[in-house]
Amino acid sequence: MSAVETERRGAVAILKLNNPPVNGLGAAVRSGLQAAVKEGLADESVGAFVVAGSGRMFSAGADIREFGKAPPPDVPNLGDLIDEIELSDKPLVAAVHGTAAGGGLELALGCHYRVVAPKTKVGLPEVTLGILPGAGGTQRLPRLTGVETALKLIVEGRLIGVDEAKKYGIVDEIADDPLEAAVAAAERFITSGDRPQRTRERDAGLEAAKTDPSIFEVFRKGMARRARGLNAPYACVRCIEAAVTMPFDEGRAFEHREIMELMNADEARSMRHAFFAEREVAKIPDVPSDTPTHPIETAGVIGCGTMGGGIAMVFANAGIPVTVVESTDEALDAGLEKIRANYAATASKGRLSEDEMNKRLGLITGATAYEALAEADIVVEAVFEEMGVKEEVFGRLDAICKPDAILATNTSTLDVNQIAAATSRPEQVVGTHFFSPANVMRLLENVRGEKSSKEVVATVMKLAKTIGKVGVLVGVCDGFVGNRMLAPYLRESVFLVEEGALPHQVDKVIYDFGFPMGPFQMGDLAGLDVGWRIRKAKAAERPNHLRYSSVADQICEMGRFGQKTSAGWYRYEPGNRNPIPDPEVEALIMKASEEAGITRREISDEEILERCLFPLVNEGARILEEGMALRSSDVDVVWMSGYGFPRHRGGPMFWADTIGLKRIADRMTEFHAEHGELMTPAPLLLELAAAGKSFADFGK
């Protein structure tokens, strides 16, 4: 099978891209397409072309695996190829189904007419890979859609449906069978002798911006917050600006220079890593993709508190009927009411239709008797975080649930193996660690117990996808992957404040690094009382010789629990989430430093970043060494999807590899000497650094 197959339908030559699974436009496809078009142009019996994709989709764009590698000689780059075929005198019609993303859509834009199947998604998501649509997308799209729409679509990188695409002028025709409709359109072109309409010649979309170029400045201002620290979105805007100010060929040359500059920068390398890491995470070496899974058609949730309610919504949102069991009628009513209020809030913002809301609510049934769970395919337990309670619940589930039901716990700190031991079927027990709010947060840590069966692991990994989550398989350890690494990060942020920094200084450094917010703002948002309660409960077991800061406890003792009490590390004006530094907190911090015998000092932004993030990476190294995550890229996925670690840094482990592990090991060694045992460098970090290796090398 060649990468592009030609099929004749009378005078129409159908050129089918054939590069499974997504028809990536790699070297073989580009050469094949170039040769097929040349051949058709030379053949007098060919009057027009249809370009289509075989298999699942038209094309997902350039082959990302080729990025950063030298192209083979004599193979055209995608942009030049599309320019070349657009100039063809014989009409080219694109027949698009499935997806046309990135270079896939750019190819379609280079054709002279576009027919698209109803469920198709189209878009230019290059910016999410740290680059821009460099095969003519920034020059052709605005000519069709107008500059304002093109700016939005290209800078947001989102895929859109066909109705939107038709409204914007990207699509000419929607047809259930796009191939047949494209052939018919090609025949019409042949019969009428109409000259093909080339996108490069359609300048109407550029007119408004020619008259009022301020649109670019306004757009740049509007995107500044989301694009902070990034280069690609700004390069996209510059290219679209070039489409307006330069003739087409010059604009294309400008676009080419811009993409080449982005292609090998850290931003693009990190985002490519993120793209592949998010796909790799679903692959479990000893659980092959053909491992049988249990069908999940009904679910149960125990406990309808903060997490249980959210988890029930997650199932209902995915169309899976779910039964929620609470211990009393009152608790059940309160929990269900919270769910209703949550949906109603989304509906009132126009993000959910009344019909859809009622459909989802109709999928949630409440009960106070465990017998209601007898037929559930999976039960997720989300009761109080106490081993005794969990053991009792799992004992009861064991007695009631059908033999092949999956029994899952949402525990965040307890030993999943001990919970599994409370049943006669530990192979059916697994952890499904959702994050709060469960119906919003994308991360799901699936915790593999010592005895969890491969079928159960495969099922919960598949389930993650069904319910719209990013499932990451982790091992049983305190805090699993995410919270375990969060602990040293939060600890050091408070130590820094005790030593001389202020919360807003620490938060600014972390925000500027690319997180949506720093640790203190995050604490205020999540509520400070939760951690306070846990610290008090664990106070007795805390080793006396280790440094401990009481600043966070003192804040809570003042009744400052964060945003919900309008005061925490910051103060808040009523109805406003803007954190305002509070002199009362600063006074408390000064006093705490004094009581701890610390002379406050100026702390540099660099030290803040390293003190907060290097220990986090260090804990990641321990997690890898202990086998609690399958690979360093899984740790990256946890942090990017669950904790807002900036995607353009590729996650903590990739970021560490980018800096070089020697630097991190050296700094951790210094921190250890200065601050003691809590900063002990992880053996794996030292070992890899000494060998000149990276986390990505580990296990290979």
133 binds ligand 3HC (CB under 6 A): yes
Stretch that binds ligand 3HC, among 16-24, 43-51, 556-564, 689-697 (CB under 6 A): 16-24
Stretch that binds ligand 3HC, among 133-141, 231-239, 646-654, 670-678 (CB under 6 A): 133-141
Stretch that binds ligand NAI, among 75-83, 170-178, 336-344, 404-412 (CB under 6 A): 404-412
**Closest to ligand NAI by CB, 37 or 416:** 416
CA separation for the pair 233, 223 (Å, rounded): 9
Q: How many helices (H) and strands (E) does the chain have?
A: 29, 19
Tell the burial category of 245 from Cβ atoms under 10 Å away from its Cβ (0-12, 13-18, 19+): middle
* Residue 641 binding: pick among ligand 3HC, ligand NAI, none (C-beta 5-8 Å cut-off by kind): none
Site for ligand 3HC, residues 648 to 687, rule: CB under 6 A: none
Site for ligand 3HC, residues 50 to 89, rule: CB under 6 A: 60-65, 78
Set 7, 66, 106, 573: catalytic member: 106
Minimum CB separation from ligand 3HC for residue 61, in Å? Answer: 3
Angle between helices 103-110 and 78-86 (to 10 degrees): 20
Set 86, 126, 187, 258: catalytic member: 126
523 binds ligand NAI (CB under 6 A): no
CA distances in angstroms from 165 to 98, 126, 171, 244, listed in the order given: 14, 18, 6, 21
Minimum CB separation from ligand NAI for residue 370, in Å? Answer: 8
Site for ligand NAI, residues 268 to 327, rule: CB under 6 A: 302-308, 325-327
- Residue 370 CB-half CA count within 13 A: 16
Terminus-to-terminus CA distance in the chain, angstroms? 33
Three-state DSSP class for 11? coil
Stretch that binds ligand 3HC, among 98-106, 145-153, 312-320, 325-333 (CB under 6 A): 98-106
- Residue 66: active-site member: no
126 binds ligand 3HC (CB under 6 A): yes
Q: What does residue 67 show for φ and ψ, rounded to 5 degrees?
A: -65, 145
Minimum CB separation from ligand 3HC for residue 100, in Å? Answer: 9
**Closest to ligand 3HC by CB, 124 or 490:** 124
CA separation for the pair 319, 379 (Å, rounded): 16
CA separation for the pair 124, 481 (Å, rounded): 33
Please name every residue paired with 471 in a beta bridge, in sequence order, or none if there are none: 444
The residue within the footprint of ligand 3HC, chosen from 130, 134, 146, 650 (CB under 6 A), is 134
* Residue 492 binding: pick among ligand NAI, ligand 3HC, none (C-beta 5-8 Å cut-off by kind): none
Specify the DSSP class assigned to residue 417.
H
* Residue 302 binding: pick among ligand 3HC, ligand NAI, none (C-beta 5-8 Å cut-off by kind): ligand NAI
CA distances in angstroms from 443 to 85, 171, 228, 643, 649, listed in the order given: 43, 35, 24, 9, 18
* Residue 331 binding: pick among ligand NAI, ligand 3HC, none (C-beta 5-8 Å cut-off by kind): ligand NAI
**Closest to ligand 3HC by CB, 21 or 574:** 21
**Closest to ligand NAI by CB, 382 or 629:** 382
Site for ligand NAI, residues 426 to 455, rule: CB under 6 A: 434-436
**Closest to ligand NAI by CB, 308 or 652:** 308
CA separation for the pair 438, 639 (Å, rounded): 16
410 binds ligand NAI (CB under 6 A): yes
- Assigned token pair, 317: 């949102």
412 binds ligand NAI (CB under 6 A): yes
CA separation for the pair 373, 323 (Å, rounded): 7
Stretch that binds ligand NAI, among 377-385, 457-465, 535-543, 685-693 (CB under 6 A): 377-385
Which has the closest alpha carbon to 194: 176, 219, 178, 172?
A: 172
135 binds ligand 3HC (CB under 6 A): yes
* Residue 52 binding: pick among ligand NAI, ligand 3HC, none (C-beta 5-8 Å cut-off by kind): none
Residue nearest to ligand NAI (CB): 305
**Closest to ligand NAI by CB, 26 or 335:** 335
The residue within the footprint of ligand 3HC, chosen from 279, 533, 536, 577 (CB under 6 A), is 279
- Residue 381: active-site member: no
* Residue 277 binding: pick among ligand NAI, ligand 3HC, none (C-beta 5-8 Å cut-off by kind): none
418 binds ligand NAI (CB under 6 A): no
Task: List Cβ neighbours of 95 (8 Å cut-off, separation of 6 or more).
Answer: 50, 51, 52, 58, 115, 178, 179, 181, 182, 183
Q: Which residue carries 């095969």 as its tokens? A: 135
CA separation for the pair 602, 366 (Å, rounded): 56
Residue nearest to ligand 3HC (CB): 102
524 binds ligand 3HC (CB under 6 A): no
**Closest to ligand 3HC by CB, 59 or 549:** 59
CA separation for the pair 429, 443 (Å, rounded): 20
CA separation for the pair 443, 440 (Å, rounded): 9
* 8 Å CB contact between 426 and 453: no
The residue within the footprint of ligand 3HC, chosen from 102, 233, 475, 620 (CB under 6 A), is 102
How many other C-beta atoms are found inside a 10 Å radius of the C-beta of residue 330?
A: 10
- Strand duo 113-116 + 92-96: pairing: parallel
CA separation for the pair 592, 549 (Å, rounded): 8
* 8 Å CB contact between 672 and 608: no
CA separation for the pair 471, 630 (Å, rounded): 13
Please name every residue paired with 284 in a beta bridge, in sequence order, or none if there are none: 287
The residue within the footprint of ligand 3HC, chosen from 12, 15, 17, 22 (CB under 6 A), is 22
Contacts by 224-227, CB closer than 8 A, 24 or more apart: 227/155
- Strand duo 160-161 + 322-325: pairing: unpaired
Enumerate binding residues for ligand 3HC (CB under 6 A): 21-22, 24, 60-65, 78, 99, 101-103, 106, 125-126, 129, 133-135, 137, 279
Please list the active-site residues: 106, 126
Enumerate binding residues for ligand NAI (CB under 6 A): 302-308, 325-327, 331, 335, 382-385, 389, 393, 410-412, 434-436
